[in-house]
A and B are shown apart, each in its own frame.
Chain A
Amino acid sequence: MTTAVQPVAKQRLADVVFKTVSTTAGVLILIALAGVAIFLVAQAVPAIIGPLPGIDGGFFAWVWPLTFGTIWSAFLAMVMAVPVAVGIALFITHFAPRRLAQGLGYVVDLLAAIPSVIYGLWGITVLAPFMQPAYTWLTQNLGWLPLFAPPASGTGRTILTASIVLAVMVLPIITALCREIFLQTPRLNEEAALALGATRWEMIQMAVLPHGRSGIIASSILGLGRALGETMAVAMVLSSSGIISFALTAQQNPSTIAANIALRFPEAHGITVNMLIGSGLVLFAITLLVNGISRWIIARTTVKGGR
């Protein structure tokens, strides 16, 4: 406490402490990331280079259908979730009465707090049996489309069901971010559009959406990250096998990397463990790639739309 006499010295100490703390935090996250990467690579190498018993074509032939399933299910989820999320965010920010908007925003945020295992339970006990008759109808009437190739699943545990569950799970993330972004649209731009005689929808088209474009992309990428990595819900809901198929309502569906690890790790031993960790490395790489691409898109659109 003797240093308290010199206010200048005290402030320096706080500066030093704060700088050290924040630098340590920054370095720690890098160390954690590097640690995960090193662990994945070290454990995956035996599976990538070595011969795999009972698997034709080596590691990459084995992991490719899983990669496909991961991307396909996440893509389907995004197709369903993004328009709805943007719609909800617009409704909350520009259409709903203030009181309703607050309540609705709160409810959507609540969705994010539900654990994924609950979504999984809901998926198998409620959604799958509920959707099953619809799938049968789709295969009977739209069966000529490869997406609805017959026969339909008898239990409804298809990749479409899994994607709907995923869509509901990523919805709150995208909605919450979009809502914040739409609220930040400059008031002047909105009022200028309205003053020029634009309807509310035209105002949103001219002022809100262009302003929020990079934000919508960024929030979608965050949601995509969750959809790609979601494990428990997919493992519980999806009737999976190692195939590649675009069919949405079939008995057999491509598995995802994360769900496959969760399903097989408990009984895995020997080289299978390395294979599973290797597939984890692939997922890690996909996530990095997706994030990289989104950074690039955001950087590009911000420059274009910057005003």
Chain B
Amino acid sequence: MKLTKLGRTAVVAAAGALLLSSCAANEPAAPAGSESSAPESTLSGDLAGAGASSMGAAQEAWIAGFQTANEAVNITYDPAGSGAGREQFIAGGVSFAGSDAYLDDEELAGTFGACVADTLPVDLPVYISPIAIIFNVEGVDSLNMDAATIAGIFSGEITNWNDEAIAAQNEGVELPDARITAVHRSDDSGTTENFTQYLAANAADAWTEGEFETWPAAYGGEGAQGTSGVVDAVTNGTNTIGYADASRAGDLGTVALQVGEEYVPFTAEAAAAAVDASPLVEGRHEGDIAVELDRTTTENGAYPLVLISYAIACTEYNDAAQAELVKAYLSYIASEEGQQAGADNAGSAPISDDLRAQIEASIEMIK
């Protein structure tokens, strides 16, 4: 059949170009990326980045998309962790970094290996991902909870599923008389940091330990390694609850957060809305876009339990060729197409047009 033949050609072309099959389905005729950039790219060379593992899957999609359009460019991204990424960037080992936290004042006071002396790098929030609270209770697909209830569960104060605090917010839902097993990350993680930041901001009374990366023993619960570990533990256990990157929630039940008067389930739009409703950190240098996430927002339809990951790049590179590559790559990441690729591959929330305009202005500064 003609259709089959066409489809096969498209797939072969796509595989040859190292494209993901999803791109091939969208644009069977031409490789993705070739529309937005010049038909014949003049870019070439190697570009190395390292950092947050949260945006690792998105980086893979971005690299594939960018390299398809610019075949002479070779980009690598090592998802070694935010801290390791920032350290390598500061030492000059990589030309850009991915990080769940923006550069702090202490780091900005130092020097940066790849940047021209006395110029400051910029933080660009290119990756937004909602964090889902996932649970495995037979017969229940979604629950409503306010921050105080979630804090109670994860700090070991609320220990049974039919607790009054949960039942009151979920009328008509049959909750079992069973002990809650709360699963947290046993490794240090930006997901934990964002999760606890949300709880500390919204339920300070129930969540007394504040914001942290390493789970304190006093709060109990079970630890599991990495996002996969938590998802596995919740899936394989019974009456379990945990938190993980929303893209990994799968068929598990999820919690809708109380925001203002209503309960908001996680969606990409709700996560992007929460970022848009947040102000920028004050007193940052020109071009830098560090977002002061407003965890307590009451904005309609915003889901404030999100993780922002930044791309960190110099404004002035010692090496002009690297500057050109970084600029082109970051432009692609921030573009609608790049954000969509991230959403398809990593389940992230595409950034809003407003934020894109700001990021593009900052990318223009790179030289």
List residues of chain A with CB under 8 Å of any chain B CB: 124-125, 128-129, 132, 151, 153-157, 235-236, 238-243, 251-252, 255, 263-264, 266-269
Closest to A266 in B: B81
B80, B87, B183, B224: which has the most chain A beta carbons within 10 Å? B224
Decide: B187 and A155 in contact? CB cutoff 8 A: no
Decide: A267 and B213 in contact? CB cutoff 8 A: yes
How many whole Å from A257's CB to the nearest CB in chain B?
14
Decide: B217 and A241 in contact? CB cutoff 8 A: yes
Decide: A264 and B233 in contact? CB cutoff 8 A: no
Decide: B179 and A267 in contact? CB cutoff 8 A: no
B269 within 8 A of A: no
B221 within 8 A of A: yes
Decide: A240 and B237 in contact? CB cutoff 8 A: no
| Contacts A/B (CB < 8 Å), 22 sampled | A124-B224, A124-B229, A124-B233, A125-B232, A129-B236, A154-B237, A154-B238, A155-B224, A239-B183, A239-B233, A240-B186, A241-B186, A251-B221, A252-B217, A252-B222, A264-B188, A264-B214, A267-B83, A267-B187, A267-B190, A269-B86, A269-B87
Bits for B23-64, please: 1 = Cβ < 8 Å to A, else 0.
000000000000000000000000000000100000000000
Residues of A close to B233: CB separation below 8 A: 124, 155, 157, 239
Residues of A close to B86: CB separation below 8 A: 269
Decide: B179 and A266 in contact? CB cutoff 8 A: no
Bits for B232-276, please: 1 = Cβ < 8 Å to A, else 0.
110011111000000000000000000000000000000000000
Decide: A251 and B220 in contact? CB cutoff 8 A: yes
Residues of A close to B183: CB separation below 8 A: 155, 239
Using a Cβ–Cβ cut-off of 8 Å, how many residues does chain B contribute to the interface with A?
35
Closest to B179 in A: A151
How many whole Å from B260's CB to the nearest CB in chain A?
33
Assuming A154-B240, A267-B83, A267-B188, what are 5 further A-B pairs, CB within 8 angstroms? Answer: A128-B236, A155-B181, A155-B240, A251-B220, A263-B225
Residues of B close to A157: CB separation below 8 A: 222, 224, 233
Give bound CA distance, A266 to B225, whole Å.
Answer: 12
Residues of A close to B335: CB separation below 8 A: none
Decide: B215 and A124 in contact? CB cutoff 8 A: no
B328 within 8 A of A: no
B189 within 8 A of A: yes
How many whole Å from B51's CB to the nearest CB in chain A?
11
| Given A125-B232, A235-B225, A266 and B188 contact (CB-CB distance below 8 Å) | yes
Decide: B222 and A153 in contact? CB cutoff 8 A: yes
How many whole Å from A263's CB to the nearest CB in chain B?
4
B82 within 8 A of A: yes
List CB contacts (< 8 Å) of B138-196 with chain A.
Answer: 179, 181, 183, 186-190
Give bound CA distance, A125 to B224, whole Å.
Answer: 12
Decide: B239 and A154 in contact? CB cutoff 8 A: yes
| Given A157-B224, A239-B223, A252-B222, A266 and B80 contact (CB-CB distance below 8 Å) | yes
Give bound CA distance, A153 to B238, whole Å.
Answer: 10
Contact partner, B225, options A155, A236, A241, Cβ 8 Å: A236
B17 within 8 A of A: no
Give bound CA distance, A117 to B244, whole Å.
Answer: 22
Decide: B229 and A236 in contact? CB cutoff 8 A: yes
B73 within 8 A of A: no
Decide: B224 and A263 in contact? CB cutoff 8 A: no
B84 within 8 A of A: yes
Give bound CA distance, A124 to B232, whole Å.
Answer: 8
Closest to A155 in B: B237
| Given A124-B233, A241-B217, A263 and B186 contact (CB-CB distance below 8 Å) | yes
Residues of A close to B181: CB separation below 8 A: 153-155, 251
Closest to B241 in A: A154
| Given A125-B232, A157-B233, A239-B186, A269 and B221 contact (CB-CB distance below 8 Å) | no
How many whole Å from B303's CB to the nearest CB in chain A?
24
Decide: A264 and B187 in contact? CB cutoff 8 A: yes
Residues of A close to B187: CB separation below 8 A: 235, 263-264, 266-267
Give bound CA distance, A268 to B84, whole Å.
Answer: 7
Decide: A240 and B223 in contact? CB cutoff 8 A: yes
Give bound CA distance, A255 to B190, whole Å.
Answer: 21
List CB contacts (< 8 Å) of B66-108 with chain A.
Answer: 80-84, 86-87
Decide: A267 and B82 in contact? CB cutoff 8 A: yes
Residues of A close to B239: CB separation below 8 A: 154
Residues of B close to A235: CB separation below 8 A: 186-187, 225
Give bound CA distance, A266 to B179, whole Å.
Answer: 33
Residues of A close to B220: CB separation below 8 A: 241, 251-252
Residues of A close to B190: CB separation below 8 A: 267
